[in-house]
Amino acid sequence: MILRRLPEPRRNGYFSTWPEIVHGFADKVGQESKPMRVSPSPRDIARMEETLTWTNCLEPIDGKIVWMKAHDERWKNICWHVGLCHAAAHQHWRYGLSLIALTLNKQPFNRKLPILEVIKLARSL
């Protein structure tokens, strides 16, 4: 995920006067190596910023479920946060993804259609 790879924001005015510590080979023996952080490219950041607007067409509860699921949240936590049972939360998630797909593909559809009809319409793309 691109947001996780971005550097942490820093507060202005706070800095360290300590010199940079240079570790020698003897200091590093026996330590676990740190994973290398690869900064995202400007193209990746632009694509990520575009995806942030995709949930604007959703109802707040649907948008929350889609974002929580995108962040690998467990269904148990999602259900607790939105106050729905698993089956209803899963249906709202599928409905939200269907609305996003229909909107991105510029497919005309009636917003008054039942949830299951919108999901079927999106699956037929």
Rg over CA atoms, the chain = 22
Residue 52: the pLDDT is: 86
State what percent of residues in the chain have pLDDT above 90.
42
Burial letters 50-69, b for 16+ CB under 10 A, else e = eeeebbeebeebbbbbbbbb
pLDDT, tens digit (0-9, with 9 covering 90-100), for 70-96:
989 999 999 999 999 999 999 999 999
d(CA 109, CA 112): 9
Q: So where are the chain's domains?
A: 58-124
- Tokens of residue 98, six digits: 């269907």
Q: pTM for this structure?
A: 0.70
- Average pLDDT of the chain, as a whole number: 88
Q: pLDDT of 17-29, one tens digit each?
A: 888 888 888 877 8
